[in-house]
């Protein structure tokens, strides 16, 4: 099961504003009526419960929302670009791949997060009409959408997680009680990645995850290490299975539990069910193992044979009862607020020198405005100067030491400072 991947998402480009003038009969000097371009589409990620892996993103890793439509005459605004929503399994954690910052943790089905903004639509010439410039002959270009590389990491959300040493019979048990078809073989480490199955109980169901076998030192990265342990934290209940043929079942049990505690002490609070497997191979040995574990733990230990189908029904019903109890308990808890570290667009700006006679201006609003202006159009340079002066950018440039003729960089655009 693919549980981590990097994909690239991009918002759509905004539509261009247009230059247009009213041309009506009996209206000899019609004013500007160029409409604005539509906003580019946005990209969202949504948590769903009918997708369990990230396999759909293995072959296609670049996604872009729809572009905005150009404006038109008669103040017609272009349509916004179509938003794009990508479905991911519930339990997916999203990071900015470049900075490593957390974007969101989509733990609950239906949760949606915005991961890429669409570009702004350009203004038509009507927007620039003033009392001193009643017929502007310029408009704005549509702005490019935001492009982000995001890392998707799936931390399996399962009701019950199967834990135990390699070759303890976890895969066989999963195949017997659920619809999953894991690879099964008579050697350790057959399961190299998590496998999720659905277990039906009367008219209800719960999910059961077969997690790769642990080894001593897994909490420090040995064996499958963190690739296994990261999934355990999302399980409501843990089913710890012990091979009945083990010469020391108590030591086997404690080895796994020690690794869990070393990884995350909170895992001690997750409800446990303990079962001795492979009872069909040696029933007497299974009973001895179960008795030893029961005496060590101070509670009953189940004996099952997945191959023979013995004891599995009672085990499933016990697990389901605990799952229902945990679902009810967590439903009453206040949901944790999802942390979104991506900042909202800032309206302020800053000025910094970047070389002899060159300065850079940072600030989303200012930079976006200059980038969108088509400076080849008549009058557009004057409009840029007027806006920068009104917003205090030119005053800030002068304070930073800029003089006439210096080049000012606004994102992808360059502009020359003049009186």
The model's pLDDT over 187-215, given as tens digits with 9 standing for 90+, comes to: 344 444 567 778 888 888 888 877 765 54
Q: Which of 17-26, 196-205, 344-353, 362-371 has the highest mean pLDDT?
A: 362-371
CA distance 291 to 386: 86
DSSP three-state, residue 176: helix
- Residue 214 has a pLDDT of 54
Q: Which long-range contacts (CB under 8 A, 24 or more apart) does 199-205 make?
A: 199/160, 199/316, 199/319, 199/320, 201/316, 201/317, 201/320, 204/320
Q: Provide the percentage of residues in the chain whose pLDDT is more than 70.
A: 84
Mean pLDDT, range 17-35, rounded to an integer? 79
Mean pLDDT over all residues of the chain? Answer: 82
The CATH number corresponding to 160-331 among 3.30.365.10, 3.40.190.10, 3.40.50.300, 2.60.40.1120 equals 3.40.50.300
pLDDT one-digit tens code per residue, 258-281: 878 887 788 888 899 998 888 888
Among 3.40.190.10, 1.20.1260.10, 3.30.300.350, 3.20.20.70, name the CATH number for the domain at 350-416: 3.30.300.350
Four-CA torsion 309, 310, 314, 317, nearest 10 degrees? -10
In this prediction, residues 143-167 reach a mean pLDDT of 85
Task: List % helix, strand, coil for the chain (3-state, nearest 5).
Answer: 25, 25, 50
User: Which are the contacts of 126, defined by CB distance < 8 A and separation ≥ 6?
Assistant: 31, 32, 33, 34, 35, 75
What pLDDT, on a 0 to 100 scale, did the predictor assign at position 119?
93
- What pLDDT was estimated at residue 80? 96
Q: What is the mean pLDDT of residues 339-368?
A: 77
Q: Token digits for 238?
A: 């843990």
pLDDT over 50 at 175, yes or no? yes
**pTM score above 0.75:** no
Top-confidence residue, 242 or 308 = 242
Q: What is the pLDDT of residue 89?
A: 84
In this predicted structure, the answer to whether residue 120 has a pLDDT above a threshold of 90 is: yes
Q: What is the CATH number of domain 4-154?
A: 2.70.210.12
DSSP-derived pairing of the beta strands 4-10 and 62-64 = parallel
Sign of the CA dihedral with 172 first, then 173, 177, and 179 last: negative
Residue 67: predicted pLDDT: 97
Residues in the chain: 419
* Banded pLDDT at 85 (limits 50, 70, 90): very high
Q: What is the DSSP string of 202-271?
A: TTEEEEEEEPPPP-TTGGGT-TTTHHHHHHHTT-SEEEEEEETT-S-HHHHHHHHHHHHHHH-GGGGGS-
| pLDDT number for residue 11 | 95
Residue 216 Cα distances to 106, 234, 301, angstroms: 32, 22, 23
pLDDT digits (tens, 9 = 90+) for 36-62: 999 999 999 998 877 767 888 988 999
C-alpha span between 182 and 213 (Å, rounded)? 14
> What is the predicted pLDDT for the residue at 182?
45
Closest CA to 273 of 304, 248, 246: 304
Q: Which two tokens stand for residue 328?
A: 């009810």
Residue in this structure with the two tokens 């085990």, named with its chain if needed = 315
Q: Which of 41-45, 239-243, 287-291 has the highest mean pLDDT?
A: 41-45
Domain boundary assignment for the chain: 4-154, 160-331, 350-416
Tell me which range, 167-181, 254-268, 387-401, is most confidently predicted by mean pLDDT: 387-401
**pLDDT band with cut points at 50, 70 and 90 for residue 419:** low
Judge whether residue 290 has pLDDT over 70. yes
Residues in Cβ contact with 123 at an 8 Å cutoff, skipping those fewer than 6 apart: 17, 36, 139, 140, 372
């Amino acid at each position: 099961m693919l549980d981590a991947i990097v994909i690239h998402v991009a918002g759509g480009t905004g539509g261009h504003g247009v230059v247009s003038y009213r041309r009506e009969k009996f209206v000899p000097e019609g004013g500007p009526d160029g409409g604005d371009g539509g906003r580019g589409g946005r990209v969202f990620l949504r948590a769903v419960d009918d997708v369990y892996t990230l396999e759909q993103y293995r072959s296609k890793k670049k996604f872009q929302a729809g572009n905005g439509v150009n404006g038109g005459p008669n103040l017609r605004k272009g349509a916004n670009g179509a938003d794009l929503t990508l479905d991911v399994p519930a339990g997916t954690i999203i990071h900015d791949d470049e900075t490593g910052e957390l974007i969101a943790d989509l733990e609950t089905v239906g949760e949606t997060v915005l991961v890429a903004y669409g570009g702004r639509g350009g203004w038509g010439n009507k927007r620039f009409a003033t009392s001193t410039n009643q017929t502007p002959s310029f408009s704005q270009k549509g702005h490019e959408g935001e492009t982000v590389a995001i890392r998707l990491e799936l931390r399996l959300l399962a009701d019950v997680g199967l834990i135990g040493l390699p070759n303890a019979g976890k895969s066989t048990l999963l195949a017997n009680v659920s619809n999953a078809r894991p690879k099964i073989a008579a050697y350790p480490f057959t399961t190299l990645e998590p496998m999720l199955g659905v277990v039906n109980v009367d008219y209800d169901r719960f999910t059961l995850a077969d997690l790769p076998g642990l080894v001593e030192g897994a909490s420090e990265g040995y064996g499958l290490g963190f690739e296994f342990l990261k999934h355990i934290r999302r399980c409501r209940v843990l089913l710890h299975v012990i091979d009945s043929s083990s010469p020391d079942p108590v030591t086997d049990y404690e080895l796994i539990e020690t690794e869990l505690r070393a990884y995350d002490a909170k895992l001690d609070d997750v409800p446990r069910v303990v079962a001795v497997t492979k009872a069909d191979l040696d029933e007497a040995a299974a009973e001895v193992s179960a008795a030893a574990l029961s005496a060590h733990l101070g509670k009953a230990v189940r004996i099952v044979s997945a191959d023979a189908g013995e004891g599995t029904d009672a085990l499933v019903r016990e697990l389901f009862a605990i799952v229902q109890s945990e679902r009810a308990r967590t439903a009453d808890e206040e949901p944790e607020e999802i942390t979104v570290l991506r900042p909202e667009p800032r309206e302020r700006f800053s000025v910094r020198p970047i070389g002899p006679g060159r300065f850079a201006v940072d600030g989303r609003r200012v930079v976006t405005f200059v980038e969108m202006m088509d400076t080849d159009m008549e009058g557009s340079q004057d409009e840029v100067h007027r806006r920068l002066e009104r917003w205090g950018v030119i005053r800030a440039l002068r304070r930073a030491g800029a003089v006439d003729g210096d080049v000012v960089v606004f994102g992808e655009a360059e502009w020359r400072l003049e009186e």
